[in-house]
Amino acid sequence: MQDTNLLNTTQAAKALGVSVDQIRRMISNGQIKSIQTHDRSPHLIPTAEILRNTEIKPRSSRMSFEEYCELDGLNASLIKRLNKSLNHYLSTPSDPSPAMAKGTAIHDSIELRLAGKSFGDKYVVAPNVDRRTKAGREEYDQFVAEEKRTVLKKEDYEDVVLMTESVFRHPEFWRIIPNAEVEQVITWEENGIRAKARLDYSDEGQHLVVDLKSAQDASPYGFKKSVTRYQYDIQANWYRRAYQSVSGHYPEFLFLVVENTAPYNVALYKLSDELMHTAEFKINQAVELYKQYLSGEIYSQGYHEDVMELS
């Protein structure tokens, strides 16, 4: 089976929009490096070589989350996985948890309200049935199959509505939102590789980027634990790089955090210079690991190969 990071000449030609003969000439004159297992085997070209020969211009645009996911490029989520190990990057991510689905719903709820629409236009409460019984499961499955909107449990639906109200009541929200671009997608080149980000809110007038987070605990102590656990420092640094690539300015970066259960407190946070510097090191390390993988230097890697002493 061919490694997914190695392209044959036909695939490389399609990726660069040239002929196969042109790819062969590029290999012959050293413009593109290729790999052969023996003299008569076909040339296989690392993906990194295609990226190196493709001009990447920083740009911003609006698109759906599904379209964004289809874009080729390294993003903050992948960097977090690379930061743990290459094998974590290569593994299949788990399905979204109920907490993640609730987090997506609060993003949608705020965007819908800003657009003058109702949360109920996109979300609906699940039917009140006992899914432990066969009849209950069948009724629920039929409801989901026929319903075009996203189905949420009643308590989650009600939480999201109240979370939205709490966010809209916060005075800082109205400093941020009036002129903000919502869910701006940015693509750029980061140290020779394709990069992408999707910013919740960005305001070029204030050079401000804001990321909305839902949390169980929005207190300083509680959110600091979330920053460490979910590596939000990487996300903050990466989004600042994205914004700078198209604007030429490093923005102020804030987290707007709303609790996902009563009393639905809202708080804003910025990360210290120390945290941002640490994130920069982690990102640079992950990008280098990613480049090694793209170039075909490594195909898998765990934590370490030798014996490590723990103390």
pLDDT (0 to 100) of residue 27:
85
pLDDT tens digits, one per residue of 186-224? 999 998 888 999 999 999 999 999 999 999 999 999 999
Nearest to 255 by CA among 218, 222, 211: 211
Per the model's pLDDT, the better-predicted residue between 94 and 310 turns out to be: 310
156: pLDDT confidence band, cut at 50, 70 and 90?
very high
Read off the pTM: 0.78
Lowest mean pLDDT among 167-181, 231-245, 255-269, 291-305: 291-305
CA 39 to chain centre: 41
Q: How many residues does the chain have?
A: 311
Q: What is the CA radius of gyration of the chain?
A: 23
Q: How far apart are the C-alpha atoms of 29 and 50, rounded to whole Å? A: 15
pLDDT (0 to 100) of residue 304:
76
> Which residues make beta-bridge pairs with 151?
124
pLDDT (0 to 100) of residue 48:
66
| Dihedral in degrees, nearest 10, Cα atoms 157, 153, 65, 169 | 20
Write down the architecture of domain 59-94+172-294 according to CATH.
Alpha-Beta Complex (3.90)
Lowest mean pLDDT among 7-11, 34-38, 98-102, 188-192: 34-38
28: pLDDT confidence band, cut at 50, 70 and 90?
confident
Average pLDDT, whole number, for the chain?
88
269: pLDDT confidence band, cut at 50, 70 and 90?
very high
pLDDT tens digits, one per residue of 16-25? 777 888 788 8
243 neighbors 184 (Cβ within 8 angstroms)? no
pLDDT (0 to 100) of residue 195:
93
5: pLDDT confidence band, cut at 50, 70 and 90?
low
pLDDT (0 to 100) of residue 254:
97
C-alpha to C-alpha distances, 114 to 87, 117, 152, 207, 242, nearest whole angstrom: 40, 7, 21, 21, 24
pLDDT tens digits, one per residue of 70-89? 888 899 999 999 999 999 98
Domain ranges within the chain, ordered by starting residue: 6-52, 59-94+172-294
Across 99-123, average pLDDT: 90
pLDDT tens digits, one per residue of 53-69? 666 677 777 778 888 88
Give yes or no for residue 136 having a pLDDT over 60: yes
Q: Where are the alpha helices (DSSP H) in the chain?
A: 9-16, 20-28, 47-52, 65-70, 76-84, 86-90, 98-114, 134-146, 154-169, 171-176, 220-230, 232-247, 273-294
As a whole-number percent, the residues of the chain with pLDDT over 90 amount to: 56
Give yes or no for residue 3 having a pLDDT over 50: no
Q: For 3, phi and psi rounded to 5 degrees?
A: -65, 140
Give yes or no for residue 1 having a pLDDT over 60: no
Q: Classify 45 as helix, strand or coil.
A: strand
pLDDT tens digits, one per residue of 226-261? 999 999 999 999 999 999 999 999 999 999 999 999
250 neighbors 208 (Cβ within 8 angstroms)? no
2: pLDDT confidence band, cut at 50, 70 and 90?
very low
Across 167-194, average pLDDT: 89
Secondary element (H or E) of residue 182? strand 181-190
